[in-house]
Each structure stands twice: as C-alpha cells, then as structure tokens.
Structure 1
C-alpha cells in the first residue's frame, strides 16, 4: 500500500511530484539524452528515443532495485535497453556518458521546475483576488495589532496589501529560481562522453543539447557534489510556503468567532461538533508552513556532500526536495481557494476599533487615508509587475 493522502492535508496535491512523475522525468531525461547524442554524433536516434515507454516499466522491480542499489537508475537502464533491443533497435547510445546522478538530479530539476511553475499560476490567481480586495477596502478602518495587542488604527486594505506583498515576494522567489541540467559522467569529468565523440569538450556539447531539449539551464559544469543549486531551489520553495503561512495565520486568527473581522465561505466539518466550519485552506497552508523549514534543513545538511558522489547525503536530499516542491504547489493552490472565499466584515472591524484603547494613538483620518492609499497602490503595482514577469523592488 502506498501513501495516498489520508493524513497529509498540507500536501494534498501530489500532481507531478509522486513516484510516477519522477520516473517519467527520469525516462524523459534518458530520451532527451539520446536525442542530444544524436545531434552531437550526427546520428538518427529518434526511433530509440520514441520507443522508451514509461508505462510499461515494472514499478515493483524498480522499487526492489532501489533497495538493492540505493539508486533507481541502476535497475532502470537495463529495462530501457531491453525495450530498445526488443524492438530491434540498437541500445548502445542509451545512457551514454551518464551516471545515475546525472539522471536523478536532472529529473528532480524537471519535477521541481514544473511544481513551482504550477505554484506560480496559483499565486497569480491569489494575488489578483487580493488586489481587488485591497483596493475595495483601502478606506475600511480596523485596529492593527502589535505583539498580539491593539496598536493603532489601520485599514482592511492595508492588511490585504500586506498579504498581497507576500504573494508578490513568493512570485519573485520562484522567478529567481534556476533549474540546471546535470551531466558529468562517473566522476564529473565527462571523459566517457569525450572518448565516445573522440574529441575534448564533447561532454559540454551533450550537456548543452540536453539542457536545451529539456528546457533547463546549462550551468557550464557538473555539480555532483556542489549542491548549492538544489539548496537554492529548496530555499525558494520554503520562502513561498512561509509567505503563505503568514497569510493563513492571520486568517485563522481574524476569522475566530470572538474577532470575526474575516469571514470564509465553505469550510470543513467536525466529527464531534456539527456546527463548526473549520478554515481548512488556512489549516492546510499552516501545516505546510510548519513542515517546510525542517525539509529545508535536510537539504542544507545534505549540501555538505563529499567525494565525487556523496554517500547518503545526496540520497537524503531526494525526498526532501520533492516534498518541498509538493508543499509549495499544494499550499499555493490552497491559498488561491482561500483568497477566493475570503471576505472582510467592515462593521465588526469598526466595532473592535471603537473599543480599542488608548484613543490618543489613533492617527488623523486624512493621514491614515493617504497612507492606506499609498500602501495599497504600491502593493498592487508591485504585484502586477511581478505577475506579468517584470521586476519591482
């Protein structure tokens, strides 16, 4: 029996990050590597690339191979070669010049890239909703809170603008991410590729072709035990989840019955209290935000890799990076759903503000109005620029 999400609300969306997705990505890498070699050697390897069939692979045999070899590629390559030979095709170019780490690292780059791209789409949806909300509520007064206590007057629009700034920063973090291809051969020197082509620098040619075919970045090097590229992606994922966790925390607090400044549509039920409607999207985001830092720590610990391939540290990285990608995609989707069902209770916010003390710390209404306009306008403009692919500080 495999995990299927029974007790995993923080990562409910496993699309593109489950074992089948990683396996498909590894086969995509082998397929692209064949085509890359075809270009470098001026050989027609399209039939071999097209013949590789991920659906026909024996998952149980591959799982046994991981238990035996500590990496999935050792068992995968012979099966893929058998597919080619069974179709009467030569298999000598399959996996040529590559090592297991080239395939696994590149596959996880593909999985991470696609998960973060999906997360970005959800973040843009959330931001558009929050931008409308911030604009509509820019002059709706509320009491701001500092260190869990009443501070001074602000507006609901400023609150929404703060959330929007977090979404914008999450988008900026994703846009900064770089997803490099990995290709270095047995110990990162690329000698097998150079020897096959009969010229120095062939490994660089293959790596460039491979990167282009997969839509990844060519880093100009192998990075087998230089793990900062993975750590950078993990940090991006954790940044996104943290930004959304802040929003979820505010929503959980402000939607409490005793506050009621925020109202949420729908909600989850309770097994013991039928009257309850729980803030399930915010709960799921919070669960992801609590888990993500520990996963980032694992990736950071694994980055102190040694030798030409790390024993154990590299292996620990796989599930943590994939989990971070999954949490990012799931939390971003939950945030989009949360924002779509969120409303402010203006009257309740005004009533809480009226009871807040001391009254002397309330700024002049005109000053507050001008400040709120400035903050909302800046947040909306910044988000719009980021959502459209531009940059803004």
Structure 2
C-alpha cells in the first residue's frame, strides 16, 4: 500500500494491512467453526468453507462500521453470518469473543511478518560472516568518542554488527515461538464453550483443535496478560537497534572526508547532482529512531490492561503492532540490500590510519611498562573476535529446508 510518510513501505506489501487482517480473522472463525463441527458440538451441516467470504474489498465498510462497536470483529461476524446460511450462520463465532478473533488474527499476521524478517536476517548474517572473514586482516583506525583511537580491523567492526544481529535474532525467534492462540470467550473462562459442550474437557479440546488448525500453540486466555505482544515489540526494537548501529557506522564511514565504505547504489539529491547519499543507512536509522516509541506504547498499554478485557489499552496495540511489524519488514529488506552492495575501501582505511596522530601512544606506554619492544602491530585479540563472530553468525542461521520438505 502507498505510504508517502514511510519510504520503502511497499516492501511490506500484503503484510499486516487491512486485507491481511481480514483474511486472518476469517481464518480464525474458520478454525473455530471447524473445531465445533469436528468435535460434534455443531452439526455436520454447519460445516462451510469461509475462504473469500470477506476480503479486502469489504475493508472500507467494515472500517466505517467498527467505530460503533470499537473493533472490526463485530462487523466481520455480522457480514459472515449474512453471507452464509442455515446452521453455518447459526453456529459461526459461537463461544468466541471479539478479542479472541482480533488477537489471534494479529498473531497470525505478526508471525508472517516476523518470518519475513528472519529470512532477511539470516541472509544478512551470511553476508556479514563473509565480510568479516574477508576483512579479518584489513587494518583501519579505531574511533572512540568520535576521535582516532588504536588500530582495529574492519573485520572486528563487522563482528560487532554480527553480535548485535545474532542477539536480536535470538530475541525475535523467542518472541515468534511465544505467539499463541487466544480463545477465552467473554471473560477468559470459556464459559460459553463449556455451556455449549457441557464439558470442560471438550471446551479445552476446542481450543486445542483451533490452535492446531492455525499452527499455533494453545494457551490459557491472555486477554489482559500482554507479554506476548510486548515481547514481540521488544524483540523487533532490539533488532532495529542492531540495524541502527550498523547503519550509523556505514553512514559515518561513507562521509567524503573518510570514504572508507560506501553503499553500492547511493541516493541522489534534488539540487546537488554530485551527491551520492547513503540512503539505505539513513532509512535504517529512521527505523531505529522510531521503533522504541512504538514498543513503549505496547508497554504503556500492557500496564493499563484492566479487568478481564481492557478498555482502550488493547485497542492501542493494533496500529502500533501494524506499524512496528511492517516497518521491521521494510528495514529487513533495506539492511539486506545495504550489506549485499556494501563497498569497502581498504586503501582509504590504510591512508587514514597512516595519517592519524597518536594511535600508537597506548602501545608505547604498555611497552615502557613491560620493558618489551612494541609488537609489529597492536591488534590484540582482533582475529579471535572476528573468528568467534563468524562462527556465531554461521551457527545462528537457520538450516535451509530439505528438498521436497
């Protein structure tokens, strides 16, 4: 979908938009209806294929009508019942509440977005492992507090990017694996389902069947326990931090007066044709600046969740999760493109180091203290740092699916 306020948004086309949410909500209703029928709670005549019964073309009308009830599930259920007949219409949504449908649909949409992010992230770790290994011995000046410090290698700089991304990947995978089905009924007790089935065990079995159909883990109702959402927001923000760190380094090192790296295809200027702006780095930094605010909104909402279902706090999550999820997918694609085209100039690094003043001062003071002659270089354990990061990156990447799997 078009978004002039967020360049690159088209990279997330079809993810966490109105059409995706409606499709996911219908999938939840389908899974629940199928569970009712397969468990013989609803008659076989209630079975129906809801696919395509509601779609993106209905988004405008459902959006306009959602204000009356405060969420889009109410209108969706009414529309599905209007477009089905007999026992299907009668049994549709029975035992569910609106929050069950919206939460589980959001989980399905988030999972799809997170999977896209992880695919790109694994590509980035492969690229970074190769980059760090290739530049294991490429010496450059280290910089601390914006000033020249002691020598490092470009491989160690890439290693720091790797460590941030691997740490973030661990958090993202954990958050994804924690996304679960939400089925609790009006107040989280499955009271309607127990009433329909006459059995607590059967009501719980309906939850399990619905979760299995959606390929989600079952869970007790989490209507006001929002850790699944805050954990996902935190993980995606941690990843934004790691991309921001990488992008800040690339943007700094691509300054004309430094020129040690540059993006493969720089962006132009509307008035200065000589410029080649590090646009991908700029956009990644934009995401790193904006993501923490979105994550904090999720925490504010989680802390304000009250009673058995929240009055406004829950509603604040939807657009927040949409923006954070879509923007993470956008940034993931931009980071992959940045790393795939990144150009490193070892000659410029060597010239900067040679011209730097005082980069051997610490080494000289260490030599004076020990009485030993200074070593030919002053790289410490740089090679070990690089090798450890490369190993960590290659171990983190998910194995490719087997042929035919």
Aligned positions of 1:182-201 closer than 5 A: 182-201=182-201
Contact 2:116 2:329 in 1 (8 A): yes
1:243–1:149 Cα change, 3 Å: same
Give the structure 1 partner of residue 39 of structure 2.
40
Q: Give the one of 387, 390, 394 matched to 1:380.
A: 390
Give the structure 2 partner of residue 136 of structure 1.
134
Q: Give the one of 93, 100, 120 matched to 2:118.
A: 120
1:147-203 Cα distance to aligned partner (Å, 9 max, x none): 111111100111111112222222212211111110000111101011111112333
Distance 2:376 2:297 in 1: 49
Contact 1:142 1:156 in 2 (8 A): yes
Give the structure 2 partner of residue 147 of structure 1.
145
**What is the aligned-residue RMSD (CA, Å)?**
2.0
Give the structure 1 partner of residue 286 of structure 2.
287
1:180-230 Cα distance to aligned partner (Å, 9 max, x none): 1100001111010111111123332121111111111212x1011111111
Secondary structure of the equivalent of 1:186?
A: coil
- The alpha carbon displacement at 1:50 in A equals 4.2
| 1:203 equivalenced with 2:221 (yes/no) | no
Aligned positions of 1:59-98 closer than 5 A: 59-85=59-85, 90-98=88-96
Q: Out of 9-18 and 322-331, give the one that drifted further.
A: 9-18
Contact 1:97 1:193 in 2 (8 A): yes
Distance 1:231 1:45 in 2: 41
Give the structure 1 partner of residue 164 of structure 2.
166
Contact 1:31 1:52 in 2 (8 A): no
Distance 1:35 1:136 in 2: 54
Q: Give the one of 100, 103, 107 matched to 1:102.
A: 100
1:290-314 Cα distance to aligned partner (Å, 9 max, x none): 1101001100000020011111111
Give the structure 2 partner of residue 229 of structure 1.
228
Distance 1:365 1:333 in 2: 42
Distance 1:38 1:146 in 2: 65
Contact 2:45 2:88 in 1 (8 A): no
Distance 2:277 2:239 in 1: 24
1:237–1:203 Cα change, 3 Å: farther
Give the structure 2 partner of residue 259 of structure 1.
258
- The alpha carbon displacement at 1:136 in A equals 0.7
1:45–1:104 Cα change, 3 Å: farther
Contact 2:46 2:87 in 1 (8 A): no
Distance 1:183 1:365 in 2: 66
1:31-87 Cα distance to aligned partner (Å, 9 max, x none): 1111122222265478413455233752222011112211001111011112211xx
Give the structure 1 partner of residue 375 of structure 2.
364
Aligned length: 384
| 1:344 equivalenced with 2:344 (yes/no) | yes
1:246–1:149 Cα change, 3 Å: same
Distance 1:175 1:56 in 2: 30
Give the structure 1 partner of residue 368 of structure 2.
none
Secondary structure of the equivalent of 1:9?
A: coil
Secondary structure of the equivalent of 1:325?
A: helix
Contact 1:10 1:286 in 2 (8 A): no
Unaligned runs of 5+ in 1: none
Contact 1:183 1:222 in 2 (8 A): yes
Secondary structure of the equivalent of 1:6?
A: coil
Distance 1:44 1:18 in 2: 34
1:116–1:272 Cα change, 3 Å: same
Secondary structure of the equivalent of 1:180?
A: coil
Give the structure 1 partner of residue 214 of structure 2.
214
Contact 1:134 1:156 in 2 (8 A): yes
Give the structure 2 partner of residue 20 of structure 1.
19
Q: Out of 31-40 and 130-139, give the one that drifted further.
A: 31-40
Q: Out of 201-210 and 327-336, give the one that drifted further.
A: 201-210
